[in-house]
A = this chain, B = another copy of it.
Amino acid sequence: MVVLVNPQMGENIGTAARAMANFGLNEMRIVDPRDGWPNKRAFTTSSGAHWILDNAKVFATLPEALKDMNYVYATTARPRGMIKEVLTPEQAGHDMRRRVGEGQKLGILFGRERWGLDNDEVSLADVIITAPVNPAFASLNIAQAVLLVGYEWYRITARTLGQETPELPALAGPGLQTPDSRPATKEELYGFFEHLETELDAAGFYKTAEKKPGMVRNMRNLFSRAELAEQEVRSLRGMIASLTRAHLRKREKSGE
């Protein structure tokens, strides 16, 4: 699933669709497109990849767009000083291949034209993809970034299957079978984030308003790195609940 975050120009949505079509990526999600949707210019520049645009789904916020996904890659031009693993497109291609084989549902985030993804958006992803590019001239447009990631996905899948033009699986797998050990969806993970952050806020954990955003990001990055299973997310929420109000309320109720 290719997720375009807050794209500004319809032309770039179209050229991104074209690059997706080149490598058998068919599912596009668009978060908060600046010029609304549908966008005629996107169709003009897509060189005929209309089926991708026709089926594109639009979301108001990034967390909503990622709800049903198990694993999310964020593409960035530069390292972000976050404690988050950074993959090359090649490594990402191998990783995607493996996860799709396991039935995971994957998302790849591409930022807006001007400044890419912001740090809060990156912190919602599990891992970063950065292409090796001439540091003196590192600017890639959206379609070019999609092209490089799509190329590696296609190349590595073709090699794995031993086919020159592989029957490509969708980046969205059939869904995972065993509920307990399956990777958490982003909806479950973000629900946990919200729970945790609300409780930490109530507990006065974030000393100042200025410090809060950075502290939130660090915590999200930490838990994203852990690749939590659904069962683990429930356990963590259970822990928070017992450590905080739910616990207090219970105590009050039982008259302890």
Contacts and interface: CB of A to CB of B under 8 A. Distances in A.
Contacts of A49: 137
A194 interface: no
Contacts of A21: 134, 136-137
B90 A134 contact: no
A137 B90 contact: no
A133 B23 contact: yes
B164 A134 contact: no
Given A132-B155, A155-B90, A164-B132, A144 B24 contact: no
A139 interface: yes
A140 B22 contact: yes
Contact of A144 (B19, B139, B154): B19
Contacts of A147: 144, 147-148
Interface in A57-83: none
A90 B159 CA distance: 12
Interface in A118-168: 131-140, 143-144, 147-148, 151, 154-155, 158, 164-165, 168
Contacts of A165: 132, 134-135
Contacts of A158: 132
A47 interface: yes
A103 to B, nearest CB: 23
Number of copies: 2
Contact of A24 (B131, B134, B139, B151): B134
Nearest to A163: B132
Contacts of A22: 133-134, 137-140, 144
Nearest to A157: B132
Contacts of A23: 133-134
Nearest to A19: B144
A169 to B, nearest CB: 13
A225 to B, nearest CB: 22
Contacts of A133: 22-23, 154
The 5 tightest CB contacts between A and B, nearest first, are A21-B137, A24-B134, A135-B165, A22-B133, A132-B158
26 contacts: A19-B144, A21-B136, A22-B133, A22-B134, A22-B137, A22-B139, A22-B140, A22-B144, A23-B133, A24-B134, A47-B139, A49-B137, A88-B155, A131-B151, A132-B151, A132-B155, A132-B158, A132-B165, A133-B154, A134-B165, A135-B165, A144-B144, A144-B147, A147-B148, A148-B148, A151-B151
